[in-house]
Structure 1
């Protein structure tokens, strides 16, 4: 997907204006009490009995003792993702990518393979960014299963995590996710990087909201986001944070299909 200037943003297609860009507002509605959503905190999952903690290529981190935080990126891969992967490799920081199928995995299959090969977690953000709560059960399954199969084809591993577009979910979505072996992952930190191309603004917003067990939502398809990542990583490391994938954040517990996770 090409870089989008402030001028072109005014002419974006409905998918971009209503889909990704409304995510924070919609989650805010859920948090405000207008809708009921039963979520599980990472710390609660870690407290569940488990036989072994999950290992990482970046080194094992025990988030029961360490001050952990998770970087997550939605709606890629894009032309910016290769540079992002270079940064993460240089900084030795794992991330979780919630990828889209249409126009993204289709266009950049090698980047999806690279994400997995370099130790990052690859999850689903659906095939075409349809709002799942407005679909029937069969349509929800199609959006998720098609994406899962393509991720499995590219990486050799079927995903266990998904992030619903706009953060919108309901009992039907939970049920389909449970059948497909997927857990839903929301977020606690947003830079609203769909509203600014300024890396300094993005960095400041992330740092202001970050706390232990935080899940940071960013999008690697916007021009200001990837340049902000080195500063975000360095500043949070200085504050004593350890970067982990979402599965590592839950370890030694393990994400349970059909559950929704949010700090």
Structure 2
């Protein structure tokens, strides 16, 4: 009997591939990144640190919907109802896919990437908080070093490029937690670290009413965080009710790549 590699094995192989071709597609190889930031200690930790983007630079009614696919034992499913709704209503979105989720859903990822409605982002090889000191969030240990942060980003970037044919530009860490040094590492690897201004579904735990009420409170320029890997949640139901109402108010949905981002501590990106 042929045994297929497990999700953890696929991520491990991706990490090995990263170190085998350290300089390919990166600004600096891992050893130079480690040396560059050796004496740089982070002072910030959380969802909104220097260098992250939490809004788009819109003075109108543009809103960016983003959807995380986290993976793992309870999070490797696909919310087909949600994706079908986005397609049917022609709602552009940015989808952040983790290596754990990709291990179970390669063909789905390929199909989503082929749809011009969607933009694919990097959600990390192992869905870990992005830290250079091992900080944790929600009980999930973060990456422990500069090289660990680089592995978390680059291994999944290469896997996404292998599956979709395109290297991702945007990165969101597992749990959406960062320190500011790790964000600089992401930038060295060609990624913009994306947070959010509105938590749309609370990890797919919110009620339909809470999702709808939150969406109807949006202002232009928001980046909204949802999940697309938990079909048992109420995310699809909430969006189905709120989207027509938002459109009546004049809101327009965009992908991250269609609009300049507001970067914490800097002027909006061009």
Asked whether the two chains share a fold, i.e. TM above 0.5, the reply is yes
Helix, strand or coil for the counterpart of 1:132? coil
- Displacement of 1:160: 0.5
Paired position in structure 1 for 2:102: 105
Tell me, yes or no, if structure 1 residue 185 matches structure 2 residue 183: no
Structure 2 residue runs of 5 or longer lacking an equivalent are 1-44, 135-143
Paired position in structure 2 for 1:86: 84
Residues 177 and 85 from structure 1, CA distance in 2 versus in 1: closer, same or farther, beyond 3 angstroms? same
Paired residues of 1:70 and 1:243 also in contact (CA < 8 A): yes
Residues 137 and 261 from structure 1, CA distance in 2 versus in 1: closer, same or farther, beyond 3 angstroms? farther
Helix, strand or coil for the counterpart of 2:62? strand
TM-score of the superposition, structure 1-length normalised? 0.69
Match of 2:153 among 139, 144, 162: 144
Paired residues of 1:183 and 1:255 also in contact (CA < 8 A): no
TM-score of the superposition, structure 2-length normalised? 0.67
Helix, strand or coil for the counterpart of 2:126? coil
Aligned 1:80-229 pairs, distance under 5 A: 80-102=78-100, 104-119=101-116, 120-133=118-131, 134=134, 135-194=144-203, 196=205, 198-208=207-217, 210-222=218-230, 223-229=233-239
The RMSD of aligned alpha carbons is: 2.9
Structure 1 residue runs of 5 or longer lacking an equivalent are 1-24, 31-35, 44-62
How many residues matched?
205
Greater per-residue helix proportion: 1
Match of 1:245 among 251, 255, 258: 255
Residues 150 and 198 from structure 1, CA distance in 2 versus in 1: closer, same or farther, beyond 3 angstroms? same
Residues 248 and 190 from structure 1, CA distance in 2 versus in 1: closer, same or farther, beyond 3 angstroms? same
- Displacement of 1:248: 0.9
